[in-house]
């Protein structure tokens, strides 16, 4: 929970208006609550299947990812890039190695589905909150709206990117287990991602206001983050490992 709070603080610093105020405190609390809800949306289904199917489930905080988050915040703030760019894992859920494909794929599919449901409920709740607030900005209102926004954004992004069929992502297990289920979850996630987060309509979505950041800056930063991500992955994927028996290191063999 402490790590979730630190992560929420990083997200809060993406907001140029964040500072020493009651409203900022409410925003920080809402971010922490929202990140906690999204984390639980993953944890509860995996925990249920872990108990039902009797396989070990390890939960770990990943503090090294804070360095990636800090770099993202600094670059976003220095470039005045809005709404900001930040990525990094908060908590890792590790299933037993060698787990049956059907068990692993089913568990992760339910976790992704739960995340999408929670994001949908938060989106509906956000509409209700904004309609009932009537311009008010008290502590409770800011906290609840911040939490709802966090659940919607983190939930949709988490579901969409997690569904990529890469071997280190949950999507690979679901894709191998049941491709129709993978297609349905990916389609629902992409629809929500485009409709809610990339909606160019006035007042909604990342693309609602193109005047916040120049087109050149947006493209340059996305290219920078994208290339850095690929290089980061490639380093750990293709680096040479020292053999435990003292023999010269050998490159990691390609996946079967």
pLDDT tens digits for 42-83? 888 888 888 888 877 777 777 777 777 777 777 777 766 666
What pLDDT, on the 0 to 100 scale, is given for residue 87? 66
What pLDDT, on the 0 to 100 scale, is given for residue 183? 93
Residue 255: band (very low, low, confident or very high) from pLDDT cuts 50, 70, 90: very low
What pLDDT, on the 0 to 100 scale, is given for residue 88? 61
- pTM value is 0.72
pLDDT tens digits for 191-241? 988 888 776 554 455 554 545 556 677 677 778 877 887 887 788 778 776
Identify how many contiguous H helices and E strands the chain contains and give both numbers. 8, 4
Inter-residue contact 70 to 125 (CB < 8 Å): no
Phi, psi dihedral angles at 204 (to 5 degrees): -140, 145
């Amino acid at each position: 929970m402490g790590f979730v709070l630190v992560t929420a603080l990083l997200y809060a610093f993406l907001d140029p208006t964040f500072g020493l105020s009651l409203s900022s405190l409410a925003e920080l609390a809402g971010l922490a609550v929202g990140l906690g809800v999204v984390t639980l949306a993953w944890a509860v289904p995996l925990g249920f299947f872990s108990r039902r199917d009797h396989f070990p489930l390890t939960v770990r905080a990943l503090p090294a990812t804070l360095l990636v988050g800090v770099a993202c915040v600094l670059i976003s703030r220095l470039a005045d890039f809005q709404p900001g760019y930040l990525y990094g894992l908060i908590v890792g859920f590790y299933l037993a190695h060698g787990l049956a494909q059907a068990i692993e794929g089913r568990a992760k599919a339910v976790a992704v589905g739960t995340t999408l449901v929670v994001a949908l409920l938060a989106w509906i709740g956000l509409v209700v909150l904004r309609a009932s607030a009537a311009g008010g900005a008290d502590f409770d209102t800011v906290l609840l709206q911040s939490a709802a926004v966090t659940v919607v954004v983190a939930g949709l992004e988490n579901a969409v990117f997690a569904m990529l069929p890469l071997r280190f992502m949950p999507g690979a297990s679901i894709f191998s287990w049941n491709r129709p289920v993978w297609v349905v979850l990916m389609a629902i996630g992409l629809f929500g991602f485009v409709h809610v987060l990339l909606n160019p309509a006035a007042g909604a979505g990342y693309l609602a206001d193109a005047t916040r950041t120049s087109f050149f800056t947006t493209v340059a930063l996305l290219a920078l983050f994208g290339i850095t991500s690929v290089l980061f992955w490639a380093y750990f994927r293709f680096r040479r490992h020292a053999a435990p028996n003292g023999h010269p290191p050998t490159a990691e063999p390609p996946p079967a």
